[in-house]
Amino acid sequence: MGRMTREEQRLRLLKPLERELADGGHDRVVAGGLERLVQNLGQPFPEVRRLLAGYRTMEPETRLTRLQQAIQLLGGPPPLRPSFDTPLEALGLGPGSRRKLAALGLRSLRDLLHYYPRRYEDRRLLRSVREVEDGAKATVVGRVLSRELVKTPKKGMQLVQVRFVDAWGWRFTGVWFNQPWVFKQVAEGASLVLTGRVQKRGGAISMNVEYFEDEGGESLSTGRIVPVYAAKEGVGQAFLRRAVWQALASLPQLPDPLAAYAPAQGLPSLDFALRQAHFPESEEALQKALHRLKFDEYLLLELKVMLESGGSALLGRSFRVSPGMLERFRAALPFPLTRAQERVLAEVLADMQSERQMARLVQGDVGSGKTVVAAAALYVAAENGVQGALMAPTEILAKQHFDSLTRYLYPLGVRLDLLVGSMGQGEKKAVLERLRSGETQVVVGTHALIQEGVEFFDLGLAVIDEEHRFGVLQRRRLLGQRPDVLVMSATPIPRSLALTLYGDLEISQIDELPPGRQPVRTRILGQKSRLQAYAFARQEVRKGHQVFVVTPMIEEGEAALELAAATRLREELERLLPEVRIDLLHGRMRPEEKDQVMERFRRGEFDLLVSTTVIEVGVDIPRATLMIVENAERFGLAQLHQLRGRVGRGGLEAYCILIAGEASKRTLERLRVLESSNDGFYIAEQDLKLRGPGELRGLRQSGMPDLKLGDLASDQAIIEQSRALAQAILAADPYLSDPKHALLKREIQARAEAIGFREVI
Ligand code: ADP
Ligand code: MG
């Protein structure tokens, strides 16, 4: 030691300090602890010794700062100021490595660190081959003793046979069938990590190798929980591990856009999360890390939505709600509200009373009683002296709503009007005049409500039914006077998904049907028993009931084929059921034509409606008791559930027969969900589980967020927590202009770019 120059001593000390810093200050790089090393080697550098005195008991943050200072004192390179935008070359990755990473689309530090492992392998406890049971699959490490390439005489099979010794001294043979190139990849003396099935014959142990890696000297592939990435030809696991490891090692501490919030949210730092997500120390640490990364995904998503929709704290109307109003409303109803309706109404009224603009989505299965809740809200608006409007996607729905609202509100003295395209000019003009003067308190209508020339005296509440049928711009026209907004939807989107898709809409669910409503009895029939369905249809028609027969759309944009299929079915049924009056509804009809067919069906002018999936959601055909769906497997469960909601709305016992055109086990299992459940939200969740969100129909594809870790079907708690934080952050800093949010803003730009969102209001 005495003969070492000062320069040699400096380097001897500097190296372990740098490694300790790269390892994140866990005091595990130096055997016996860093502090002892510093006391021994650090005599010529008293300042360094002082800085690192008591290292063992320091907080991690302090350790890292002190390490950086000590490294500076010893003339080490200045600490890299890492940014997620740092290009990979700045991290010391050579051009060859960078080319490989670019092949996976990874260019910056951000890309690389968010390239999360697909899965992990627990290789903490590598066993000796000796302990593995005959026939079991295992991962072991072996050193190559010798190798040979064997050609079997019969059939010209080629075997690579390699003799290994494991760390405990047990010998075994690794075997590869018909992969002669392996021979060149295993060098004598190399240590390999081998996975495969172990066979024991007498004293001999062999392994049929499924895959293997070079242990590569670094302990990245053994003795730990090992990350397994989505790799690619020429870009292997060992390479990816080393690249990520090197990137992490070159950065003492990763910046954290949520540094100010993470502790209070019970979240680990981003530095911890990213390091542990790639190289977990324990399962527990891994879970914590993934939780944080998921949280960030949702938070960025939600901040993005909220920023784009102009902030969620817009001022709206502030309504007065008195107990008297609600008593009068309830007294005029022919039934008591269900508990779910009461709860949702309370949520709606709380929004209406607050100064913030209401933006609430009321979801509920068909027939759950959304319209009644809307009626109560419209009544409150009328009592407050402002106008309310309800906009429905079709005339027939608008008329139906107008009838219901008239039933509920006319007895309370509310002045209602209907505005639809098919009205005569004179009639229309009169309605427009009453809207302008404020004489009309509640108007129900179609797109006619947002046409040129429609002016409200003071629109305070807008209710939009089946909102997904309206374009954003169309809605905006109705919302010019900043009314409170209530959206009603029967599409049973799971809550967790809805929160994310709809961004800053608050959500209420009516998750209970009014009492006495009988569930639609559902049966699945195979293709062979198909005619039974139509025999049953004949019986229903004889009782004076009506029947829907739905045939799926072929493909988007193939309306001609779809029409042909529906027409063929109609002809078949006309032959089969000569006494039944049949008509057809299809996607090529103009909206007025569709309305006319539905109107005639409602009036009972025919018995059986063959239709592609264009049946208007929400139209009541009280005498319809049977829904037959051909090729039911082509529909989503949620969609089928909505379809069967068309029947049994008049209190008659109702049935749904699903004809499975293709009866694989998976198909039947999926359809069975409908036989066993009548709960639209449960069904939608199952649909999501069994198909994956990308396949969920009825949702705009671009509205599907592209999440790496998040699982929309099961992340409800995380989504809600991140959403609350997003709201709090924007409440304090609506445009993220505070310098302390600069990092966060940058991450939103960089990481949420790919995610297309449904615009809200
Ligand atoms: P939705 O709009 O959700 O499809 P509606 O509001 O149109 O449902 O209600 C469906 C039917 O159920 C209507 O005939 C309505 O009168 C009836 N209804 C609604 N709420 C109740 C209730 N609490 N009790 C009994 N019947 C109800
Ligand atoms: Mg309705």
- Polymer length in residues for the chain: 761
Q: Give the residue whose CA is nearest to atom 19 of ligand 1.
A: 369
- The count of C-alpha atoms lying within 13 angstroms of the C-alpha of 335, restricted to the half-sphere facing its C-beta, is 13
Instruction: Show me where the domains of the chain are located.
Output: 2-73, 125-223, 323-353+368-489, 521-677
Q: What percent of the chain has pLDDT over 70?
A: 86
Write the single-letter amino acid at 422: S
- Per-residue pLDDT tens digits for 375-420: 999 999 999 999 999 998 888 889 889 999 999 999 999 999 999 9
Distance 366 CA to ligand 2 centre (A): 6
Lowest-confidence region among 51-55, 407-411, 556-560, 755-759 = 755-759
Q: Which one has a higher pLDDT value, 489 or 559?
A: 489
pLDDT of 81: 65
Write the single-letter amino acid at 218: E
- Structure-block tokens of residue 90: 């700045």
Name all residues whose Cβ lies below 6 A of ligand 1. Answer: 335, 337-338, 341, 364, 366-372, 514, 618
Confidence of residue 459 (pLDDT cuts 50, 70, 90): very high
pLDDT of 697: 30
The H or E element that residue 602 is part of is helix 591-602
Atom of ligand 1 nearest to the CA of 373: 6
pTM as predicted: 0.53
Distance 720 CA to ligand 2 centre (A): 28
Distance 94 CA to ligand 2 centre (A): 63
- Per-residue pLDDT tens digits for 117-155: 888 877 777 778 888 889 888 888 889 999 999 887 777
Cβ(110)–Cβ(750) below 8 Å: yes
pLDDT of 15: 85
Atom of ligand 1 nearest to the CA of 372: 6
pLDDT of 538: 96
Residue pointed to by tokens 């529906």? 566
Distance, in Å, from the CA atom of 575 to the CA atom of 468, rounded to the nearest integer, reads 38
Cβ(274)–Cβ(115) below 8 Å: no
Buried b (16+ CB within 10 A) or exposed e, 385-394: ebbbbbbbbb
- Per-residue pLDDT tens digits for 722-734: 888 998 999 899 8
Report for 463-477, 488-502, 628-642: range of highest mean pLDDT: 628-642
Q: What share of the chain is helix, strand, coil (3-state, %, to 5)?
A: 45, 20, 40
The full 3-state SS of 248-275, as one line of letters, equals: HHCCCCCCCCCCCCCHHHCCCCHHHHHH
Atom of ligand 1 nearest to the CA of 370: 3
CA 680 to chain centroid: 18
- Per-residue pLDDT tens digits for 427-455: 999 999 999 999 999 999 998 998 888 99
Indicate whether 79 pLDDT > 70: no
Cβ(685)–Cβ(670) below 8 Å: no
Q: Which of 337, 371, 617 to mutate to test the pocket of ligand 1 (most atoms within 8 A of CB)?
A: 371
Q: Give the residue whose CA is nearest to atom 26 of ligand 1.
A: 514
Lowest-confidence region among 211-215, 217-221, 290-294 = 217-221
Q: Give the residue whose CA is nearest to atom 20 of ligand 1.
A: 369
pLDDT of 604: 95
pLDDT of 80: 61
Closest CA to 443 of 469, 428, 350, 617: 428
For the residues of 165-221, what is the DSSP string, one character each? E-TTS-EEEEEEES-TTHHHH--TT-EEEEEEEEEEETTEEEEEEEEEEE--SSTTS
- Collapsed DSSP state (helix, strand, coil) of residue 378: helix
Lowest-confidence region among 375-384, 705-714, 746-755 = 705-714
Distance 378 CA to ligand 2 centre (A): 15
Residues in Cβ contact with 409 at an 8 Å cutoff, skipping those fewer than 6 apart: 332, 375, 378, 379, 382, 416, 442
Ligand at shortest distance from the CA of 365: 1
pLDDT of 107: 85
Please provide the average confidence, as pLDDT, over all residues in the chain. Answer: 83
Indicate whether 285 pLDDT > 80: yes
Report for 198-207, 213-222, 312-321: range of highest mean pLDDT: 198-207
Cβ(272)–Cβ(263) below 8 Å: no
Q: Which one has a higher pLDDT value, 348 or 558?
A: 348
Atom of ligand 1 nearest to the CA of 336: 23
* Four-way CATH pick for 323-353+368-489: 3.30.420.40, 3.40.50.10320, 3.40.50.10420, 3.40.50.300: 3.40.50.300
Q: Give the residue whose CA is nearest to atom 23 of ligand 1.
A: 337
CATH no., domain 521-677:
3.40.50.300
For the residues of 114-130, what is the DSSP string, one character each? T---SEEEE-SSPPPGG
Indicate whether 661 pLDDT > 60: yes
- Comparing 323-353+368-489 with 521-677, is the CATH topology the same? yes
Q: Give the residue whose CA is nearest to atom 5 of ligand 1.
A: 369
Confidence of residue 702 (pLDDT cuts 50, 70, 90): very low
Distance 406 CA to ligand 1 centre (A): 14
Helix ranges, 384-506 (H):
395-409, 425-437, 472-478, 495-501
Cβ(369)–Cβ(341) below 8 Å: yes
Cα angle value 451/454/459 (rounded, 5°) = 115
Q: Which CATH architecture has domain 125-223?
A: Beta Barrel (2.40)
Distance 390 CA to ligand 1 centre (A): 17
Helix ranges, 384-494 (H):
395-409, 425-437, 472-478
- Per-residue pLDDT tens digits for 153-182: 777 788 899 999 988 889 999 999 888 888
- Per-residue pLDDT tens digits for 669-688: 889 999 988 877 788 777 76
Indicate whether 718 pLDDT > 60: yes
Q: Give the residue whose CA is nearest to atom 6 of ligand 1.
A: 369
Confidence of residue 52 (pLDDT cuts 50, 70, 90): very high
Confidence of residue 709 (pLDDT cuts 50, 70, 90): low
- Per-residue pLDDT tens digits for 224-273: 788 888 777 778 888 898 889 888 877 778 889 999 999 999 999 999 99
Indicate whether 699 pLDDT > 60: no
